[in-house]
Copies of this chain bind each other. A is one copy, B any other.
Amino acid sequence: MDEGMSGFCIKAASFRGSGGGSGNGNNGTKCGRWNPTTEQVKVLTDLFRSGLRTPSTDQIQKISSQLSFYGKIESKNVFYWFQNHKARERQKRRKVSIDDKDFTRRDQDKISSEKQLNQVSEPARVIETLQLFPVNSFDDSEAEKMRFHANEYFKEATAFAYRVGTEMDHPPLDLRLSFL
């Protein structure tokens, strides 16, 4: 749209460290979209495997902070990464599930067992000590009161805007849009 729309920065020929290169500690990535390094992807994937699905703001900040060591990264990148990863994990699952409806051929095909053999060869096996999800998951701040919801507007079936039977012939405000 207008504001923080998709960056129109020059598309730099930035290459990811795919293949174990990881030479993009400080790649020439100008703008455009974030290109995670292999290390970053590895950590993120590991976190995901550890059970992290939707990190909170604080978690995102921490992760982003840690991952910034490997290259440029912002909080929103982490946020998007988890959103996408989870969404696609589910999407894949759903696809397979639907595809399984007709089991005429049970030769199992290959489906997506060949997705990817987990990252590139990383000789140095790192140790990660991550403690996520203690036992909480409490929805504490719920003091908010549910206001009228969209339902109020969803009655547009007949566009019959029920008006308050007071004296207002028309709303006090005069919203006129004269354009084009």
Binding site for B on A (CB under 8 A): 1-8, 17-19, 31, 39, 41, 43, 45, 56-66, 68, 72-76, 78-80, 89, 91-92, 94-99, 101, 114-116, 118, 120, 124, 126-137, 139-141, 147-148, 150, 152-154, 156, 159, 161, 167, 171-180
Contact (A62, B175) CB under 8 Å given A6-B19, A94-B57 = yes
On chain B, the residues within 8 Å of A114 by CB distance are 4, 7, 31
State A9–B68 Cα separation when bound (angstroms): 34
Beyond the given pairs A5-B98, A75-B154, A132-B173, 13 more chain A to chain B contacts, judged by CB atoms under 8 angstroms and listed by A's residue number, are A4-B114, A56-B171, A57-B161, A63-B175, A63-B177, A64-B98, A72-B101, A75-B95, A75-B156, A78-B153, A130-B175, A131-B175, A139-B147
Chain B proximity of A50: nearest CB distance (Å): 10
Chain B proximity of A25: nearest CB distance (Å): 12
Contact (A17, B45) CB under 8 Å given A59-B173, A79-B153, A173-B136 = no
Q: Which 9 A/B pairs are nearest by Cβ-Cβ distance?
A: A2-B118, A126-B179, A75-B153, A75-B95, A76-B95, A129-B176, A75-B156, A129-B178, A58-B171
CB distance B153 to A60 under 8 Å? yes
On chain B, the residues within 8 Å of A56 by CB distance are 171
State A140–B95 Cα separation when bound (angstroms): 22
Contact (A57, B152) CB under 8 Å given A1-B41, A5-B118, A141-B147 = yes
